[in-house]
Amino acid sequence: MQTYFNIAEIILGVVLIIIVLMQVKGQGAGLFGNAQSTFRTRRGVDLILFRFTILLGVLFAALSMGSLLLR
């Protein structure tokens, strides 16, 4: 059972990293973004990626805590 949790954590972690990098890609000035994009409204695909990132982060945290409780 612990092996399944570990595999799921690895897969979820990789997907979470990819989603975060997809968001940074559209910011323009690299890793830190630029001043114009600091205060803008999220729309369309950007909003979906933002909400999906939050969901994946919560799932990753819950999975990690569940894995910790099974040890």
The string of pLDDT tens digits covering residues 38-66 is 556 778 888 898 999 999 999 999 999 99
Asked whether residue 60 is domain-assigned, the answer is yes
* Structural domain containing residue 54: 2-28+42-69
Among 62, 51, 71, which Cα is nearest to 8's?
A: 62
Q: What is the pTM of this model?
A: 0.72
Asked whether residue 33 is domain-assigned, the answer is no
**Burial of 25 from C-beta contacts in 10 A (0-12 / 13-18 / 19+):** exposed
Q: Where are the alpha helices (DSSP H) in the chain?
A: 2-25, 45-69
Tally of structural domains, the chain: 1
Asked whether residue 9 is domain-assigned, the answer is yes
Asked whether residue 54 is domain-assigned, the answer is yes
Among 26, 55, 58, 60, which Cα is nearest to 42's?
A: 26
Q: Give the C-alpha separation, 19 to 56, whole Å.
A: 9
Asked whether residue 34 is domain-assigned, the answer is no
Asked whether residue 36 is domain-assigned, the answer is no
